[in-house]
Amino acid sequence: MDRKTLGTRMDAVQTPIIPTIGAMVRATPGCISLGQGVVHYPPPRAALEAAAAAVTEPTTSQYQPAAGIPRLLERITAKLAAENGIHVGRDVRVMVTAGGNMAFCHALDAITQPGDEIIVNTPYYFNHEMAIRIAGCVPVCVPTDERYQPRVDALRAAITDRTRAIVTVTPNNPTGAVYPEATLRAINALCGERGIYHVCDEPYEYFTYGGARHFSGGSIAGAEKHTLSIFSLSKAFGFAGWRTGYMAYPEHLEGAMLKIQDTMLICPPVVTQIAAAACLEAGRGYAEPFVKDLAEVRELVLERLGRLAPKVNVPPAEGAFYCFVKIDSGKDPMEIAERLIREFKVAVLPGSTFGVEGCYLRIAYGALKKETVAEGMGRLVEGLGVCI
């Protein structure tokens, strides 16, 4: 048989939705994208200045330590202790990666063998499900409740001898749900009890609204031996294109992590790390005014979507910058998404890419400013009124 006709494990991996929708947006002049999860604001000026100054330094063009440059690791260590209650030291190590997605892939490679199972809550973040399949593992999908909150008993029932980890994403992509501390403690305790890992993905940690608060599972006493905590600068610091993330993980995975990092990346891009250190020096205070603005945008988004009730149901979305809406329609969500782009020049993502059946759409409002939200949501509401 011709080698080209043989399948690979990539055949089981879904086609990435962001490039697909992105191509449609680019082919539709004037289209407003509520598809990709990005923010509208830039990185701190100090980060851009630090990067510009670093370009001419000879050491910027040389290999640096695999886990990250000392200056950035120091900033990350201080931030994790002060904001997340995670203490890097004897039992916990930290590594810089090219974005949070790479950190997640590193985690899978370090803790699994082909055929192992990874439990994800659905709706899931599509790149997590894709990464699990790429690693040769099996995603085990456990539906959340009607408010998109994890069901701990269902997670417990899904564990088998092949289970290696439970993944939580909070504040959540795609739903905007924020998991309570009690729920995360229960999941972390379950993982410890069953000898599996708890992978905590936390790139939206600063984006909570109203009374919702973010809690890091890695801060729990005794969690350090089975918890991997993943963070990203992409959202909080408008740093998406610089591809900088980091991960805190158990000390016993250090050897595996260094093997993976050296093979996949050798070291994170140095100029990006220098800029990232400046971002962390600016700190959470840099993001807070923008998050406050997004809180107002969120209210406008929810108000406009509320006009479509009961045909459109919007469960609580107290974090990140997403709404995951359920539509009372038997239509294919991808067909609706394509029509919204083509006829109304507004883009959203179909819920099917997040592992749920039925008619759902993810609406991302992070790229909207207060002065543009009315236009974007006006198009969406008008389009949904016609398309569903």
For 105-134, the pLDDT digits (tens) are 999 999 999 999 999 999 999 999 999 999
pLDDT at 311 (0 to 100): 94
pLDDT tens profile 292-336: 999 999 999 999 999 999 999 999 899 999 999 999 999 999 999
CATH number at residue 256: 3.40.640.10
- Identify the domain boundary among 264, 282, 300: 282
Count structural domains, the chain. Answer: 2
User: Do both 274 and 348 map to the same domain?
Assistant: no
Residue 135 lies in a domain: yes
Residue 48 lies in a domain: no
CB neighbour class for 62 (10 Å; exposed up to 12, middle 13-18, buried from 19): exposed
- pLDDT exceeds 80 at position 3: no
pLDDT-derived band at 88 (thresholds 50, 70, 90) equals very high
pLDDT at 6 (0 to 100): 66
Domain that holds residue 129: 62-282
> What average pLDDT does the structure give for the chain?
96
- Identify the domain boundary among 251, 282, 313: 282
CATH number at residue 371: 3.90.1150.10
pLDDT at 170 (0 to 100): 98
pLDDT tens profile 339-367: 999 999 999 999 999 999 999 999 999 98
User: Do both 380 and 267 map to the same domain?
Assistant: no
Backbone φ/ψ region at 208: left (φ over 0), alpha (ψ -120 to 50), beta: beta
User: Do both 248 and 99 map to the same domain?
Assistant: yes
What string of H, E and C letters represents the secondary structure of the chain? CCHHHCCCHHHHCCCCHHHHHHHHHHCCCCCEECCCCCCCCCCCHHHHHHHHHHCCCHHHHCCCCCCCCHHHHHHHHHHHHHHHCCCCCCCEEEEEECCHHHHHHHHHHHHCCCCCEEEEEECCCHHHHHHHHHCCCEEEEEECCCCCCCCHHHHHHHCCCCEEEEEEECCCCCCCCCCCHHHHHHHHHHHHHHCCEEEEECCCCCCECCCCCCCCHHHCCCHHHCEEEEEECCCCCCCHHHCCEEEEEEHHHHHHHHHHHHHHCCCCCHHHHHHHHHHHHHCHHHHHHHHHHHHHHHHHHHHHHHCCCCCEECCCCCECCEEEEEECCCCCHHHHHHHHHHHHCEECEEHHHHCCCCCEEEEECCCCCHHHHHHHHHHHHHHHHHHC
User: Do both 251 and 223 map to the same domain?
Assistant: yes
